[in-house]
Structure 1
Amino acid sequence: MSINTEREIQANMQIGPTDQGMVRIFIEADGVEIPMDFDPEEAEEIADEIRAAAMAARMVNE
């Protein structure tokens, strides 16, 4: 499976700070819960990657 493979899975995602100073991305899908904690620097790197991917996706749709 690659990033371009479409799937019919619905998921909920929450993002927020924890009381331990981490950033948590929490994903729930099909009864499975996946909490992922990142230090603030890692979270900023992930945010940068998401922004870059959004820019690239806009180019595909033009």
Structure 2
Amino acid sequence: MGIDSESDTEVNLQIGPTTLGMVRIYVEGSGIEVPMDFEPEEAEEIAEEIRAAAARARQMAKGNKGGKGKR
């Protein structure tokens, strides 16, 4: 499965600080638990990547709306 593949899999996502000063991204789904700890600087880089991906997704959505369903 690639990043652009649809999936029916449902997961729970939690993000928060740990007692050791790390940022934890915790993913829990059907039979799987994935705790991922990051230094605060790494977490900020991930947040920037998420913001950039959201901006690109908005642009792609705008581009897809222009030619569909209008006559």
TM-score (norm 2): 0.85
Identity of paired residues, percent?
A: 60
Residue equivalent to 2:67:
none
Task: Give the 3-state SS of the residue equivalent to 1:61 in structure 2.
Answer: helix
Structure 1: gaps (5+ residues): none
The number of residue pairs the alignment matches comes to 62
Shift of 1:2: 1.3
Stretches of 4+ moved more than 2 A in 1? none
Higher strand share: 1
Report which of the two structures shows the higher radius of gyration computed on alpha carbons: 2
Residue 11 (1) aligns with residue 15 (2)? no
Aligned-pair Cα RMSD in Å = 0.6
**Aligned residue runs from structure 1 range 18-33, under 5 A:** 18-33=18-33
Task: Give the 3-state SS of the residue equivalent to 1:59 in structure 2.
Answer: helix
Q: Distance in 1 between matches of 2:4 and 2:30?
A: 21
Q: Distance in 2 between matches of 1:35 and 1:54?
A: 23
